[in-house]
Amino acid sequence: MLTIPSDIWEDMIEHARALDPHECCGILAGRDKIITGHYRITNILAKMSEAELARFDQVKLSDLKRLSPEERADIAFQMDAQEMSQAQKDIRQKDITLTAFYHSHTFSPARPSITDIKIAMEFESYREKLNIPEPVHVIISLQDKTNPVIRAYRIQDSTATEVPVERR
Ligand SMILES: [Zn+2]
């Protein structure tokens, strides 16, 4: 069970709406799966040039290179590393734990895509070196613009399993 306070819940939806039709992304932190910290992180796929992408030699981006930055941000996200490390610094200072990564789906349901699962598994391959506990993956769906849906998942062995989310 993941518990998200109402103000953070609303702020995540506001973040998703602000970036729509692009995907937003961010970090949630807290203690014992009760969220107390929310960090909006820039989706760098939304603003990367072709030259920058060429230097960004990750296999997962090879397919994305053919798309325009706008198209890329619609279907995927990559968190800005510097903002992530700033968030982690703040999380350490507050003595809380990085608990979840979130991103939005602007046209599809609140379920991990094949790309989401690939990115999560890639993250799993070096997560322990970063000393980060296994994150929950939260997805905000704006498929129905008047009724945003938030769901959470564990992603292990290329399989997503839903984790109940409670709004408090
Ligand atoms: Zn996704």
pLDDT at 64 over 60: yes
Cis preceding-peptide flag for 21 (omega within 30 of 0): yes
**From ligand 1's centre to the CA of 146, what distance in Å?**
20
- Using the mean position of ligand 1's atoms as its centre, give its distance from the Cα of residue 122 in Å: 14
What is the residue whose two structure tokens read 């399993």? 161
CA-based nearest residue to 27, from 40, 18, 14: 40
Ligand 1 center–CA 18 separation, angstroms: 17
Q: How far is the CA of 76 from the centre of ligand 1 (A)?
A: 6
Q: Output the CA 34–ligand 1 centroid distance in Å.
A: 23
Range of the domain at 49: 2-167
pTM of the model: 0.84
DSSP-assigned beta bridge partners for residue 166: 3
And the tokens for 92?
A: 């350490």
**55-82: b (≥16 Cβ within 10 Å) or e:** eeeeeebeebeeeebeebbbbbbbbeee
- What mean pLDDT is predicted for residues 11-17? 97
Q: Is 38 exposed, middle or buried (0-12, 13-18, 19+ CB in 10 A)?
A: buried
Report the number of distinct structural domains present in the chain: 1
Mean pLDDT along residues 137-153: 96
pLDDT in tens, 96-143: 999 999 999 998 999 998 888 888 888 898 888 877 889 999 999 999
| CA 104 to ligand 1 center in whole angstroms | 6
CATH number of the structural domain spanning residue 84 = 3.40.140.10
